[in-house]
Amino acid sequence: MSDSLLGLDEPPQPRDSVYRVLARKYRPQTFAELIGQDAMVQTLGNAIRRDRLAHAFLLTGVRGVGKTSTARLIAKALNCIGPDGQGGPTIDPCGVCEPCRAIAEGRHIDVIEMDAASHTGVDDVREIIDASRYSAVSARYKIYIIDEVHMLSKNAFNALLKTLEEPPGHVKFLFATTEVQKVPVTVLSRCQRFDLRRIPAEKLAAHFGEVVEKEGAEAEPEALAMIARAAEGSARDGLSILDQAIAHAGMEGGAVTADAVRDMLGLSDRNAIRDLFDRIIAADAPGALAGLRGQYDLGVDPQAVLKSLLETVHRVTLAKLGNEVIPGQAEEERAALVEWAAKLGFPALHRLWQLLLKGHDEVIRAALPIEACEMALLRVIHASSLPDPGELARKIAEGAPMGGPAPAATPAAPAEPPAPRNMAEVVERLVAAHEEHLAARVRNLVRPIRLEEPVVEVSSQGIPADLVHDFESALRRVLGKRWSLRVTDAPGQPTLNEERAAQEAAERDAVLKSPVVAAALEAFPDAELIGWTRDNRRFG
């Protein structure tokens, strides 16, 4: 077998002579250090403890989630002999025995790593097949780690199939790939597959905090959260960004700050994006274009501005649904999301999302990106001033005029409408204001507690978060701005629909017990009460 397969083509270097980047320095050496892959670790641990080890493993996932690191950890786990030299396979390799240290340093003769991107041919695979027939030199298992296995040629895969299906007992294959869909099904069916997940941003931020502390540096929590979000689930990408940020902070003589990370990554300033979003929903075209140009002059890519606006719309939608805020979110941003969520309905948010997404795609392909971005924002602003499609359909159904000059004056609504006395009257006001869908939801889901002007108090039992926002907004539109909705944990009264069902059941019971109906049912046992009228007790 060639030296390149054995990893012997690089001359040894003194450990302390070359700086190691953070992504290599903090590569996990135990399964406990492997973050975000708890399900896989548990499965592997159970397999090792029960001696149910597969002969081939396929590790798949996006870049930087730990595929190659996991393969090396599995190699250590299978070949560890413990500090006393008497141990067996374990999910917690000791890290001090000779096999553990040799595998960690990449010099174990029985753990062969091959990069399929540079060894794609059938001849490279034949070397593995021929060598796999011989027992391990000093380890319990001879292990082949093939990275980016999807890049092997079709002939190379075919040559590997027989050995992969019935390998010698002393051989284990560990494959890693970012594009599992390119691996032939015949290979997939012969492997035990593990899908490594993207690492959640909050776990990445916590991990980066530990790394910063070990490096003797300092970093703002918001800066770490920004790096974690920019990493998109990849620990390696995040550590590379952190490495650069620490170097930048060292040159400036201070901690890693959110502003420095934002400048380094070319991210849009959150305050500027909030101001831009405010101007868009307020249909302030000149102000929105000035804000966009200001970001562009600072070096922010127009595509990044639209991406930040899309993220804002998404977060507003989640806030409207009552979802928790993201880690590292500033208090002023949280307050802005709550305000926008109360102001914007779901149809408006969906329309904003579609328009911004279309603009984002146009900017990617545009010959003039900033001009395309300006036109996209103007289209969004113009659309925000158009009537809601549902409102437009209602006006058409009512025969209201759709065009022409606006009337000289619109009759003002009464400043002090009579206060409703109960929830039934509140629902009647909603129906009169053409809020039929909301009225139906209130009848079905809202349990009133009390109504004392100007507060409607209801129970939190069974009421969705979006209904709370929509109901309170409708109350202020229909009854006046001073009215508010209060939601408490008290059990509340039955809903209006439950009250009506109970009343109808009571009336039916009274009808069945009346002498005339009772006598009729006795005379005609097969008869059935199908209806009645309340006036004069006439029955059907």
Q: What is the pLDDT of residues 305-343, one digit of tens each?
A: 999 899 899 989 988 887 655 655 666 777 888 888 888
Instruction: Verify that 248 and 279 share a domain, yes or no.
Output: no
For residue range 76-106, what is the model confidence (pLDDT) as tens digits? Answer: 999 999 898 888 888 889 889 999 999 988 8
Report how far residue 311's alpha carbon sits from residue 307's, in angstroms, rounded to the nearest whole number.
6
Would residue 129 count as lying in a domain? Answer: yes
Q: Does residue 146 sit in helix, strand or coil? A: strand
Instruction: Verify that 17 and 86 share a domain, yes or no.
Output: yes
pLDDT at 356 over 90: yes
Instruction: Verify that 35 and 123 share a domain, yes or no.
Output: yes
Domain boundary among 177, 195, 213: 195
Percentage helix, strand, coil for the chain under 3-state DSSP, each rounded to 5:
55, 10, 35
Q: What angle do CA 206, 175, 187 make, to 5 degrees?
A: 135
The stretch 240-264 carries a mean pLDDT of 79
Would residue 434 count as lying in a domain? Answer: yes
Instruction: Verify that 298 and 363 share a domain, yes or no.
Output: yes
Instruction: Verify that 114 and 162 share a domain, yes or no.
Output: yes
pLDDT in the model for residue 357 = 92
pLDDT in the model for residue 408 = 44
Report how far residue 40's alpha carbon sits from residue 353's, in angstroms, rounded to the nearest whole number.
36
pLDDT at 67 over 60: yes
Would residue 138 count as lying in a domain? Answer: yes
**Residue 285 maps to which CATH number?**
1.20.272.10
Kind of pairing between the strands at 455-459 and 56-60: unpaired
Backbone torsions φ then ψ of 291, nearest 5 degrees: -65, -40
- Structural domain boundaries enclosing 274: 270-384
Give which of 124, 117, 121 is closest to 147, Cα–Cα: 117
Instruction: Verify that 38 and 133 share a domain, yes or no.
Output: yes
Give which of 491, 539, 489, 501 is closest to 519, Cα–Cα: 539
Domain boundary among 214, 242, 265: 265
Report how far residue 6's alpha carbon sits from residue 114's, in angstroms, rounded to the nearest whole number.
8
Report how far residue 334's alpha carbon sits from residue 184's, in angstroms, rounded to the nearest whole number.
47
Per-residue pLDDT band at 257 (split at 50, 70, 90): confident
Domain boundary among 195, 216, 251: 195
pLDDT at 206 over 50: yes
Radius of gyration of the CA atoms of the chain, in A? 34
Instruction: Verify that 87 and 140 share a domain, yes or no.
Output: yes
pLDDT in the model for residue 251 = 56
CB atoms within 10 A of CB 527: 11
Report how far residue 60's alpha carbon sits from residue 120's, in angstroms, rounded to the nearest whole number.
19
Would residue 404 count as lying in a domain? Answer: no
Q: Which region, left, alpha or beta, applies to residue 136 given φ > 0 means left and ψ of -120 to 50 means alpha?
A: beta
For residue range 374-419, what is the model confidence (pLDDT) as tens digits? Answer: 999 999 988 766 655 555 556 566 665 555 444 444 444 444 577 8
Number of structural domains (the chain) is 5
Instruction: Verify that 473 and 504 share a domain, yes or no.
Output: no
Report how far residue 196's alpha carbon sits from residue 177's, in angstroms, rounded to the nearest whole number.
11
Instruction: Verify that 145 and 9 share a domain, yes or no.
Output: yes
Residue with tokens 């996006």: 62
Report how far residue 270's alpha carbon sits from residue 254's, in angstroms, rounded to the nearest whole number.
22
Give which of 488, 399, 474, 380 is closest to 434, Cα–Cα: 474
pLDDT at 7 over 50: no
Instruction: Verify that 137 and 221 share a domain, yes or no.
Output: no
Would residue 403 count as lying in a domain? Answer: no
Backbone torsions φ then ψ of 483, nearest 5 degrees: -80, 145
pLDDT in the model for residue 466 = 78
The stretch 421-444 carries a mean pLDDT of 87
Instruction: Verify that 160 and 63 share a domain, yes or no.
Output: yes
Instruction: Verify that 319 and 304 share a domain, yes or no.
Output: yes
Question: Of 1 and 38, which is predicted with more confidence?
Answer: 38
**Residue 41 maps to which CATH number?**
3.40.50.300
Indicate the pTM of the whole model.
0.57
CB atoms within 10 A of CB 72: 22
For residue range 149-203, what is the model confidence (pLDDT) as tens digits? Answer: 999 999 999 988 988 888 888 999 999 998 899 999 999 998 999 988 888 888 8
Would residue 392 count as lying in a domain? Answer: no
Would residue 131 count as lying in a domain? Answer: yes
Per-residue pLDDT band at 360 (split at 50, 70, 90): very high
Dihedral angle computed from the Cα positions of residues 23, 28, 33 and 37, in that order, rounded to the nearest 10 degrees: 90
CB 28 within 8 A of CB 37: no
Would residue 399 count as lying in a domain? Answer: no
Residue with tokens 């975000």: 36
